[in-house]
Amino acid sequence: MTQVKSLADLRKIKDDLQGKMGLREKSNSPESLVQIRVAMATCGIASGAKQVMEFFMEELDKRNIQAVVTQTGCMGYCFAEPTVEITLPGQAPVVYGYVDTAKADSIIEKYIKNGELVEGIIPVNYETIQK
Amino acid sequence: MATIKLSTNKIDELRAVCKSFNHEKGELINVLHKAQGIFGYLPAEVQEIIARELNVSVAHVYGVVSFYSFFTMLPKGEHPVSICLGTACYVRGAEKIIEEFKRVLNIGVGETTSDGKFSLACLRCVGACGLAPVVLVGDKVYGRLSPESVKDIVAEYAK
Amino acid sequence: METIKINIDNKIVEVEKGATILKAAKQVGVHIPTLCHLHLHDLNIENKPAGCRICVVEVAGRRNLAPACVTECYEGMVINTNNIKVLNARKTVLELILSDHPSDCLICSKNGNCELQSMAQDFGVREIHYEGEKSTYRADTSPAIIRDVDKCIMCRRCEMMCNDVQTVGVLSAVNRGFMSVVAPAFERNLDHSECTYCGQCVAVCPTGALTEVDHTNAVIRALADPSKTVIVQTAPAVRAALGEEFGMEPGTLVTGKMAAALRRLGFNYVFDTDFAADLTIMEEGTELLDRLNRHLQGDTSVALPILTSCCPGWVNFFEHQFPEMRDIPSTARSPQQMFGAITKTYFADKIGVKRENMVVVSVMPCLAKKYECQRDEFKTNGNPDVDFSISTRELAHLIKQLNISFNELPEEDFDHPLGESTGAAVIFGTTGGVIEAAVRTAYELQTGKKLEKVDFEELRGMDFIREATIDFDGLPIRIGIAHGLGNARKLLEEIKAGRSEYHAIEIMACPGGCIGGGGQPLHHGDSSILKARQKALYSEDAGKTLRKSHENPYIIELYKEFLGKPCGELSHHLLHTHYFDKSVEVSVVE
Amino acid sequence: MAKFKMHLLVCSGTGCHASESELLLQNLKTIINDKGLDTEVQVIGTGCFGFCEKGPIVKVMPDNTFYTQVTPNDAREIIEEHVIKGRKVNRLLYVNPETQEHISDSKHMGFYKKQLRIALRNCGFIDPENIDEYIARDGYEALAKCLTEMTPEQVIEIMKKSGLRGRGGGGFPAGLKWEITSKSVSDEKYVVCNADEGDPGAFMDRSILEGDPHSVIEAMAICGYCIGATNGLVYIRAEYPLAIDRLKIAIDQAREYGLLGKGLLGTGFDFDIELRYGAGAFVCGEETALIHSMEGKRGEPTMKPPFPSVSGYYEKPTNVNNVETFANVPVIINKGAEWFASIGTEKSKGTKVFALAGKINNVGLIEVPMGTTLREVIFEIGGGIKDGKKFKAVQTGGPSGGCLTEKHLDTPIDYDNLVASGSMMGSGGMIVMDEDDCMVSMAKFYLEFTVEESCGKCSPCRIGNKRLHEILDKLTKGNGTLEDIDRLKNLSYVIKDTALCGLGQTSPNPVLSTIDNFYDEYIEHVTDKKCRAGQCKALMQYVIIAENCVGCTACARNCPVNSITGERKGVHVINQAVCIKCGACLEKCKFNAVVIK
């Protein structure tokens, strides 16, 4: 195993590990970050939700955006799968339907980065168990 | 009094332990821990060997052994029952559990049943306060006990 | 000396920097009571576990009370040693100690000589407010020492003596809390331990927890038996200490009064162990010269240095702890045993009494002597050479019990022939004395010249390990001296490692030698008493006309009439012994 | 490297461990593997989450779902429902006892709301057996900073400014201790971590060692750097096997990374750590006793001064701090003294970990800023008293502490306020008592502990505490007199004033504080021969209320000593002279006819 020989070495290890721990780290204070919830029930997965989720995770990381990507159960909009719920800090959640990687890309670039709404919003009318 | 039988194997093991600690006086407690691990308890003979190996007096070794409650000079039962007497367990009725064990096993605290199966001891907080009252049988922890559950625990091991 | 100013009981005083409150208070005449604390200044032995908490005092600005024995003074410290808070605490603590102590004072052997008892007296304790369960233990009687540890107050003095000073390591604090007590390993009896019976634990015990096995009744019975010829011998150190038991100043020599008292007690013959001490020098000195000369002639089979062997505590010590070195000490028996052997042979013949009808009693400053005289090798057909060995304290009890007004007795002499001795014999009682006596004789025997100056100041003193080189007419003889078994151990380790360059070493088990023996009147922590006793012995030596053992006319006569020559065949049989390996092997059962 | 979408954190602290969390962890891992999810979902055994009452705990990240009392059999459902289908397993969620709501996010649980976790920052968050996870959480950065960017004096200055006080009981300023030890001149010095946590009912040190061992290792190395020591020793209770294992693993990992051993982080500073085991002696929590024990001797305390900072382990200067104190150090270095000092009260900075136990709903380990009130701790975090009973007292500071009552509920908790209220911080045990607890018995319980654990060296503790216990026993048996209460008080004060060590000096606190706060109860035990809590057996009677008795004979049949007489269908009577107060009749009576008087 490599020996840590300086503060720089240590920081490098830490940076390498960020991705791994980031998930937990971010979920500690999700309200201050962008939260992305991908519906990952059978219908979602069948429509490619998995790829969408992976795309979000990788791209957000690459583009250096602090976000929490979570999977949830079926949101009830099976007709519009894959569905993704985006919550910007301090804002109400917005749900997008028919999300593929291309759509995901524009969600990141437009909505997440600049707050511009993208086409394909589904009206929110479900309740979570917390409520 | 039963004669104490120490096998030469185990004594060699004990001597090796002393050697691994460089025969240092200061390591007495570590050595005693290992010795109790080997023999299950610390009979006088074992203490005499340790005293010689570490070049301290037997009285010193015994003084230490008799000071610490973790060390015992009596062989424990096959299934040592230890009842936690931490405050949390006390407040949640550990005393009743002791009484029930004493009654069911028909022995006192610090004693071993005549068939050598069970011995009864009290110990300080094991830190499983959320499960109070807590009992250990060997290494297994039983939590949230009531006096009624004592019989079942004993039955589990009595086979 | 750097000093600081402190305030004790509203007096501003200047004391040495770094001094404890106890020491500072003493300097200014304030007596703070102590119980566990023990400080033998001259021997540099101190016990201060700060455990009894009797010496607590109030220090301004401190949350709780401070134990005076270990709390160091600081500049401007304000101390109150006797306000109501301190007194209440002290008395309460004393009551607590008493509440866990048997109240059989009237029949306790320490009655009248117990530090706890006198403290209760001083404090005016009339009621114990905190009675409760007492901790009780099994009593233990060994050949020399009785442990009645119900009376132990955990002052730890005995533990300190046994471990730190004597390095015998038989005693340790055991168990915990209320049941803690000082005991041998596994709380076994002392005779199942490596105890040397040096008795230093007994010498410092403040209560009746550790006492000697009392033979006074056996002696009284023997004295009352008309069929027995009862002979007494008294060790050198006894005469320098016995007076203390009768209120005399420490260091008062009571040789004459003691002889008178023994005669009034009814002993048929009042002899002196000093005679046997002279005899010891003849034997041991001859052995030393023999070994030395063979060594000088290149005989590698002889072991040097030679170690003295008159101290039975020391003999027990090396038999247990250094059995592999048991060929190094002189084979000469101790004076007590030489006396017994000569008395029950030579003298018995002389007066025509069978040994079975003879009772030899020794008065010793020592408890190990009780064990020594019971050794099998010192018996003939089961009859011991010395029947009973009693301590200086026991002799005092005997005298008191038989209504003898000791202080008013005339000075009398010992009986002949075994009561005659030289100055060399009397200094056996102090550290350095045996070897000085040996040097006086060995010098003349070796060189054939007369020794003009017999006082060897370089061998005297209280330092634990001393050494000197004595010029034997051109031949330098290197002498080592150790007293206290811990110091003996140091010299033995050196010999074992091959680093020792001594020709002869004197070893005494007790600090100070026999003057500080376990059977002496209790010093209660005042080591100046030992110094006074030492001084007394040297003054008795100085006052004698004959000061070399080989000049003792009765010794000369003994060899002429009976023994032949020193280290001869009869000597070998009667006056020499051999040693045993008493180390414990761990029994392993397969 | 696999990128996990989801982390399942499974508590592997001793409490949960005892409830088969190990098997649960295994089951989760196996099922994840079986389903081929092992590249997406990571299962991690962590240290204690603190919420031991409801253990074993499983926390699902990133959605913060908090499952309680999870059994090994629940593993499949969690994976099939939550992990695969994204549906939370409702029945395993924590239920708010007041609203009966299922709460999924731990943030919304009362237990966690008021907590601020500094010492416990990594407990229940990282895998304690993986140094990487510690490093990812800024681990060893403080050490690196100290070694490469700061002088020991500068580090000590930060420690002093932070106001961190010893968390083991006394509350001595840690920075000052470090400074004194650093100034002692010696060829060798030692850093000792006191992990001989002995207060019955306190287990924060164990949790930290189990959940975040590296924080202690890092802090010890920092301390070594400051005071000039190259050797560290952890004195740990042999009764903590899990903590010992984790600590050993952590030390090995740190050595592999070059964070322990020779030339730490490429500097010339050497530091390594050894373990020494305790053997069951409470007094060894006292630092001089601890040092004697590490030297292979009886754990008897000696007088201070000399303090270990000047003369400790083998007479060398030794800095002793406890686990929780050390756990705070790396954060203080990383975030700064000002940040730490901004938390807490004027004289007590930072947070304190408390072990909540007794008659409280949420038994567990909590960490709150100094200055939080007892009310917040007991009623908000602790969820109030069990079974809706009435709060009576809370015992803090273990056997060295005292009882706090209703009137202290709004006192901000810090070192000085607790002492002023007749208790002390101690190591942070908080035992909550309700109306069924007898305060005389409580004092007796603690004295029994002290008598058992007294080393026996000094007479006030060896004999005095025994006598205190005997007098209390007399009171609980109804044989006490009013003079006994005076005796208790005088003896308590004398023991406080004269005992040798901290254990002895504080041992009468439970007696004095219960006499102060519950004097009436003491008097009742003496004059009325009554125990209002019904705990003192000798003082209570089982009585049959004639109106309620239907003569079913159940009580008489079940009485082990035949003390109950009565005709079938007639009123039964208990013969008090024979009754052994076992309570069997009370249990068997279906008509509420048997009552305790």
pLDDT of residue D487: 96
Q: 10 Å Cβ neighbour count for D545?
A: 14
CA distance D232 to B30: 16
Cβ of D456 and C93 within 8 Å?
no
Is residue A34 assigned to a domain?
yes
Residue D234: pLDDT above 70? yes
Determine contact: B139 vs chain C, CB below 8 A.
no
Residues of D in contact with C157 (CB under 8 A): none
Greatest Cα pair distance in chain D: 90
**Enclosing domain of residue A100:** 29-122
Residues D555-560: contacts with CB within 8 Å, 24+ apart?
D555/D584, D555/D585, D555/D588, D555/D589, D555/D593, D555/D594, D557/D588, D558/D584, D558/D585, D558/D587, D558/D588, D559/D584, D559/D585, D560/D584
Residues of C in contact with D499 (CB under 8 A): 53, 64
Q: Is B7 at the interface with chain C, CB within 8 A? A: yes
Of D224, D4, D269, residue with least CA distance to D133: D4
Tell me the chain B residues in contact with residue C187 when contact means C-beta distances shorter than 8 Å. Answer: 62
Would the CB atoms of D303 and C52 count as touching at under 8 Å?
no
Q: Are C59 and C35 in contact (CB under 8 A)?
A: no
C195-210 as b/e, with b when 16 or more CB fall inside 10 Å?
bbbbbbbbbbbbbbbb
A98 occurs within a structural domain = yes
Q: Is residue A16 part of a domain?
A: no
Binary contact (C89, D497; C-beta < 8 A): yes
- C310 catalytic? Reply is yes
On whether the D6-106 domain is CATH 3.40.30.10, my answer is: yes
CATH numbers and ranges of domains, chain C: 3-82 (3.10.20.740), 99-213 (3.30.70.20), 217-575 (3.40.50.1780)
State residue A42's pLDDT score. 65
Hey, of D99, D132, D214, which one would you mutate to test binding to chain A, going by the most A CBs within 10 A of its CB? D132
pLDDT of the residue at A75: 66
Please state the rounded mean pLDDT for residues D55-81: 88
Task: Please indicate, yes or no, if residue B132 is contained in any of the structural domains.
Answer: yes
* C390 three-state secondary structure: strand
| A74 assigned to some structural domain | yes
pLDDT at residue number A127: 39
Inter-chain contacts counted by CB atoms under 8 A, chains C and D: 102
Architecture label for domain D541-596: 2-Layer Sandwich (3.30)
Domain at A70, CATH number: 3.40.30.10
The answer to the question of residue A50 being in a domain is yes
Q: How far is CA B95 from CA B101, B109, C74, C240, D435, in A?
A: 10, 12, 50, 63, 18
pLDDT in tens, chain C (590 residues): 789 999 999 999 999 988 999 999 998 899 999 999 999 988 889 999 999 999 999 999 999 999 999 999 999 999 999 999 999 999 999 999 999 999 999 999 999 999 999 999 999 999 999 999 999 999 999 999 999 999 999 999 999 999 999 999 999 999 999 999 999 999 999 999 999 999 999 999 999 999 999 999 999 999 999 999 999 999 999 999 999 999 999 999 999 999 999 999 999 999 999 999 999 999 999 999 999 999 989 888 888 899 999 999 999 999 999 999 999 999 999 999 999 999 999 999 999 999 999 999 999 999 999 999 999 999 999 999 999 999 999 999 999 999 999 999 999 999 999 999 999 999 999 999 999 999 999 999 999 999 989 999 999 999 999 999 999 999 999 999 999 999 999 999 999 998 988 999 999 999 999 999 999 999 999 999 999 999 999 999 999 999 999 999 999 999 999 999 999 999 999 999 999 999 876 655 54
The stretches of C197-306 forming alpha helices (DSSP H) are 200-204, 216-224, 255-265, 273-296
Per the CB < 8 Å rule, is D454 touching C177?
yes
Token digits of residue C578 = 């051999």
> So what's the pLDDT on residue D143?
96
Partner-chain residue, chosen from D298, D302, D459, that has the shortest CB–CB distance to C96: D459
The pLDDT, as a whole number, for residue C588 is 58
| Residue B72 lies inside a defined structural domain of this protein | no
The token duo for C219 is: 């002696």
Q: Which of D340, D316, D312 is nearest to D327 (CA)?
A: D340
Q: What is residue B5's predicted lDDT score, i.e. its pLDDT?
A: 64
pLDDT of A130 over the 50 cut = no
Pairwise CA distance, residues D200 & D453, whole Å: 12
pLDDT above 90: residue A131: no
Q: Does domain D351-434 have CATH number 3.10.20.600?
A: yes
Interface contact A6, partner D, CB < 8 A? yes
**Mind telling me how many Å the CA of A37 is from chain D's nearest CA?**
9
Annotated catalytic residue, options C245, C287, C420, C540: C287
Residue from C73, C195, C205, C310 carrying the catalytic annotation: C310
Smallest Cα–Cα separation from D353: which of D320, D316, D325, D319?
A: D325
Based on the fold, state whether residues B46 and B97 are members of the same structural domain: no
Q: Where are the alpha helices (DSSP H) in D311-403?
A: 323-335, 337-341, 374-375
Quote the number of domains for chain B: 2
B8 touches chain C (CB under 8 A): yes
pTM (2 d.p.): 0.89
Domains of chain A: total: 1
Every domain of chain D and the residues it spans: 6-106, 131-341, 351-434, 439-528, 541-596
Main-chain dihedrals φ then ψ at residue C77, nearest 5 degrees: -60, 135
Reported as a pLDDT band with limits 50, 70 and 90, residue A128 is very low
Residue B37 pLDDT > 70: yes
Please give the CATH superfamily to which domain D131-341 belongs. Answer: NADH-ubiquinone oxidoreductase 51kDa subunit (3.40.50.11540)
> Is residue C52 among the annotated active site residues?
no
Tell me if B55 is assigned to some domain: yes
Instruction: Encode pLDDT of D388-422 as tens digits.
Output: 899 999 999 888 889 999 999 999 999 999 988 88
A23 at D interface, C-beta within 8 A: yes
Residues counted in chain B: 159
Q: Identify which has the larger pLDDT, D99 or C127.
A: C127
Query: What is the end-to-end Cα distance of chain C in Å, rounded?
Result: 65
Phi, psi of C60 (to 5 degrees): -60, 135
Q: Which of D39, D44, D63 to mutate to test the interface with A (most CBs of A within 10 A)?
A: D63
d(CA C401, CA C397): 6
- Nearest beta carbon to residue B8 from set C169, C187, C588: C588
- Domain contains A59: yes
- Token reading at C90: 């002290």
* 3 state SS of D121: coil
Q: Is C187 a catalytic residue?
A: no
Domain coverage including residue B88: 79-158
- Does residue B2 belong to any structural domain of this protein? no
Compute the nearest-CA separation of D182 from chain B (Å): 25
Distance CA D548, CA D566 (A): 14
Q: How would residue A126 be classed by pLDDT, with cut points 50, 70 and 90?
A: very low
Does residue A19 form part of some domain? no
The pLDDT tens digits for A63-81 are 888 787 877 766 666 677 7
- Give the nearest partner residue to C588 out of B11, B60, B62, using CB atoms: B11
Q: For chain B, what is the largest distance between any 2 Cα atoms, rounded to a whole number of angstroms?
A: 51
pLDDT band for position B2 (cuts 50, 70, 90) = very low
pLDDT reported for residue A73: 66
Whether C319 is catalytic is no
pLDDT at B78 > cutoff 70: yes
Q: Which of C62, C86, C93 to mutate: most D Cβ within 10 Å?
A: C93
Co-location of B122 and B89 in the same domain: yes
Give A-chain residues touching D66 at CB under 8 angstroms.
none
B24, part of any domain = yes
Alpha-carbon distance C7 to C77, whole Å? 6
C and A touch with 3+ CB pairs <8 Å, answer no
* pLDDT for D3: 65
When pLDDT is cut at 50, 70 and 90, the band that residue D251 belongs to is very high
Asked if C155 is an active-site residue, the reply is: no
Nearest to D456 among C65, C132, C180 (CB): C180
Note if C356 is an active site residue: no
Q: Span D439-528: which CATH code?
A: 1.20.1440.230
Contact at CB, B66 and C176, closer than 8 angstroms: yes
How far is C213 from D148, CA to CA, in rounded Å? 70
What is the model's pLDDT at position B76? 84
Quickly list DSSP for C282-294. HHHHHHHHHHHHH
- The shortest C-alpha distance from C174 to chain D (Å) reads 9
Q: Choosing among C158, C179, C186, C583, which should be mutated to test the B contact, i.e. which has the most B CBs within 10 A?
A: C186
Sort out which chain C residues have CB atoms less than 8 A from B57's CB and list them: 163, 168-170, 172, 185, 194
The pLDDT tens digits for D366-377 are 999 999 999 999
In the set C131, C377, C457, C561, the catalytic residue is C377
Dihedral of CA D310/D312/D317/D321: which sign? negative
- Strands in B118-123's sheet, in edge-to-edge order, are B118-123, B79-84, B135-137, B140-142
Residue C136 near chain D (CB below 8 Å) = no
Residue with tokens 């006490």: D480
D201, D206, D207 ranked by CB distance to B87: nearest: D201
Q: Does a structural domain hold residue A127? A: no
A114 inside 8 A of chain D by CB: no
Closest Cα in chain A to D87: A73
Q: Are C236 and C538 in contact (CB under 8 A)?
A: no
Mean pLDDT, residues A9-25 taken together: 79
pLDDT of amino acid C204: 97
- Residues D496-514 have a mean pLDDT of 95
| Closest in D470, D494, D496 to C93, CB measured | D494
- Cross-sheet strand order for the sheet of C475-483: C306-307, C504-508, C475-483, C465-472
Average pLDDT, rounded, for chain D: 91
The residues, any chain, with a CB within 8 Å of residue C125's CB and separated by 6 or more, are C91, C94, C95, C98
Considering C194, C372, C394, C436, which one is annotated as catalytic? C372
Say yes or no: B102 and B53 in one domain.
Answer: no
Complex ipTM value: 0.89
Residue in B with minimal Cα distance to C182: B63
Task: Identify the active-site residue in C48, C110, C151, C369.
Answer: C369
